[in-house]
A and B are shown apart, each in its own frame.
Chain A
Amino acid sequence: DSGVTQTPKHLITATGQRVTLRCSPRSGDLSVYWYQQSLDQGLQFLIQYYNGEERAKGNILERFSAQQFPDLHSELNLSSLELGDSALYFCASSVSWWPTSGNTIYFGEGSWLTVV
């Protein structure tokens, strides 16, 4: 158990809908990262928040948004869903804004999103 908690574990929704994925980082971790994993593209970095502020941005679509709240939990909002958005969405956390800085980032179990 990495200490990173993600909900829901599985979600099935229709095209055009909007969903929110939730992540609670490990106790003491200030950084939260979101990754998307699909079968053919591996793990794609979406976005990172550090202590409530956006820190780094990857290949995140405009239909997706995220935020980190004062209690450090984070939410990833996916809207106008398309079939191609079906994937495993991972949240990860680390102590500092630097992903490794001598340690590593710790991954949650993921939220499996299926768009039908």
Chain B
Amino acid sequence: EDKVVQSPLSLVVHEGDTVTLNCSYEVTNFRSLLWYKQEKKAPTFLFMLTSSGIEKKSGRLSSILDKKELFSILNITATQTGDSAIYLCAVEASESNFGNEKLTFGTGTRLTIIP
């Protein structure tokens, strides 16, 4: 069974701090890894990673994938209160070489930024 594990489960930091969120996975037929931010209800897309070692960056957020060690990290620098959210990691994998792709989500990291 595909497995996605995120750590830490919860993190509380002060505004301006830098945080690193972790996601490790065990899946067959890996396709891609995605990061989502969930503030109130619907998760919103942040990054999709398919290749090892290539950093994706968007403002203060960046993410990188290591397909050999089967993990990804999401970094947020100079955190702001608006970064408070649940950050979800999801891995897309297929049950065979020809289909039945599905996204498996981790339980998320709840990040709280204190002013």
Contact = CB atoms under 8 A, between A and B. Distances in A.
Interface of A: 2, 4, 33, 35, 40-45, 48, 55-56, 58, 88, 90, 97-100, 104-110
Interface residues of B, number: 22
Interface string B83-115: 000001010100000011111111110000000
A90 B31 CA distance: 23
Contacts of A55: 100
Contacts of A104: 34, 45, 48
Interface string B39-64: 00111110010000000000000000
Given A56-B101, A90-B42, A99-B102, A42 B34 contact: no
7 tightest CB-CB pairs across the interface, nearest first?
A: A42-B107, A43-B105, A107-B42, A104-B45, A109-B41, A56-B102, A110-B41
A45 B101 contact: no
Contact of A98 (B41, B101, B106): B101
Given A100-B48, A109-B41, A110-B42, A41 B32 contact: no
B42 A108 contact: yes
Interface of B: prevailing SS = strand
A44 B105 CA distance: 7
Contact of B92 (A2, A44, A99): A99
Contacts of A48: 102
Given A55-B100, A56-B100, 10 more contacts: A2-B44, A4-B42, A33-B103, A42-B107, A42-B108, A43-B90, A43-B105, A99-B102, A100-B34, A105-B103
Contacts of B45: 104, 106
A68 B102 CA distance: 18
A100 B103 CA distance: 9
B105 A45 contact: yes
A45 B103 contact: yes
B105 A100 contact: no
Contacts of A44: 105
A109 B42 contact: yes
Contacts of B42: 2, 4, 90, 107-110
Contact of A45 (B32, B44, B102): B102
